Amino acid sequence: MTEPKVPDTPAAEPKPSPLPAEAIDYDRWVQAIRPEARAAQLQAATRRTLRAVRRRPRHPEEVAVLTELVKARWRRALATGDVEELGPRRFRIRV
Q: Is the pLDDT of residue 24 over 60?
A: yes
What is the structure's pLDDT at 50? Answer: 67
What is the structure's pLDDT at 93? Answer: 92
**Which of 6-10, 21-25, 57-61, 86-90 is the least confident region?**
6-10
pTM, two decimals, is 0.44
Q: Is the pLDDT of residue 21 over 80?
A: no
Task: Give Cβ neighbours of residue 81 (< 8 Å, ≥ 6 apart).
Answer: 94
What is the structure's pLDDT at 9? Answer: 60
Cα–Cα distance, 59 to 33 (Å, whole number): 48
Domain layout of the chain by residue ranges: 27-51+58-93
